[in-house]
Structures are given as C-alpha cells and as structure tokens.
Amino acid sequence: MKKTHWIIIIIVALIVAAIAYVMGMSYKAVAPSAPSVASSSAAAVSSPSASPATSSAPSSAAPVVQSAYFSERTSTVLGTYLTDNHGMTLYTFTHDTAGKSNCTGVCLTRWYPYGPGVSATGTYHLPMLPVNVGVIKGNNGMLQFTWKGMPLYHYFLDKTAGQTLGEGVLNAWYVVKL
C-alpha cells in the first residue's frame, strides 16, 4: 500500500475519533465480580486505563456483563457495547467462524487478541465469565476470549478507553453491541 494511502487512513481515523469524542461518549463502569472458582495465577491482559473526560450515565438497568475481564460502555452513536475491564473497546471479525480465529500474520499486528494473558497450554482456573463469553486457543498460542463463539480483539489505534476507531474497518471489524 502506498504511503499516501496510509496517511489518508490515519487522517480518517483521527477525524472519526474527534467526532466520537465531540458526540459525547458516556461510560458505564461495571464492578468486577468475585471469582467463583480459584483465580488464575496469571494476570489479566493489561491495557491503557486512561479515560477521556466523559459524563457518567446513571442506569437503573442491570449490566449485561459483569466480570473481572469485561465491562460495557454506551455511546450515542453505537449504543451499549462490550469493553475490557479498562474500558477498551472489543471487536469481532466477520471472517472468523465460531470458535476459530482467522486473523493471522499482519492482521495480528493491528488486531490484538483479547484473553486472560495466559498460554493455551496447561489448565487454568479463570474467574466466572459472563454468559456468552467463552475461551479458545488463539493464533498467537494464548487463550482468547470469545463472545457468542466469535473471537474478541482490541484495535491497535484505540489508545484510550471509549475509542472505537476499529468500527467498520474494511467492512469486517465491528464493536460487540450488547
């Protein structure tokens, strides 16, 4: 791909980020639940926890997800969608199939598999996961979380909580709407 194409892609991504910020993303934190099984000896995947200035949206509705690894966020554009426990947006890839990631090679340098941060070899006890969340062996050899069987990813251009720069990329990557 030509250098000018990358520059255009970056400019578009920055414009989308600015629009999302101006439209006022609201964040709804979900407290982690206590593990019902022995905790894993591995730490969760670390992500930046910086959050842009947003207004809290009080809600009387019970959260859809509640776990040490997951949270949810609401935006005026996308509605309520799935995030990791630091508010970083999670995506699915339309070329994946249930229980199988098809993101390999260069794809993995742009779309980071989201999982508990442990190798797929051996036995681990993870905290209770929300309904619709599962675990598969990712293409990077690590455990990877799934939503309704579809592998979950972070997008490399999302740098702060609430960014959704990966939404609609290549008409194949989408936030997980709840």
**Is the CB of residue 57 less than 8 Å from the CB of residue 122?**
no
Tell me what the mean pLDDT of segment 146-161 comes to. Answer: 98
Residue 16 has pLDDT above 80, yes or no: no
Q: What is the pLDDT of residue 119?
A: 86
Listing DSSP states for 130-144 in one string gives: PTTEEEEE-TTSBEE
pLDDT at 14: 65
163 CB-contact burial (10 Å; exposed 0-12 / middle 13-18 / buried 19+): buried
Q: Is the pLDDT of residue 6 over 90?
A: no
Cα dihedral across residues 35, 112, 79, 23: positive or negative: positive
The pLDDT value recorded for residue 57 is: 43
**Residue 122 contacts by C-beta under 8 Å, 6 or more apart in sequence?**
none
pLDDT in tens, 40-96: 333 333 333 333 333 334 445 656 676 889 999 999 999 999 999 999 999 999 999
Neighbour tally for 42: CB within 10 Å: 15
At residue 129, the pLDDT reads 87
**pLDDT score of 63:** 64
- Encode pLDDT of 108-142 as tens digits: 999 999 999 888 887 777 878 888 999 999 999 99
Residue 160's pLDDT band, with cuts at 50, 70 and 90, is very high
Give me the pLDDT at residue 17, please. 58
Instruction: Supply the pTM of this predicted model.
Output: 0.67
> CA–CA separation, 54 vs 178, rounded Å?
20
Query: Residue 167's pLDDT is what?
Result: 98
Average pLDDT over residues 6-18: 67
Cβ atoms 92, 147 nearer than 8 A? yes
Average pLDDT over residues 146-167: 98
H helices of the chain, where?
3-22, 107-110
Q: What is the mean pLDDT of residues 142-166?
A: 97
> What is the rounded distance in angstroms from the CA atom of residue 74 to the CA atom of residue 28?
7
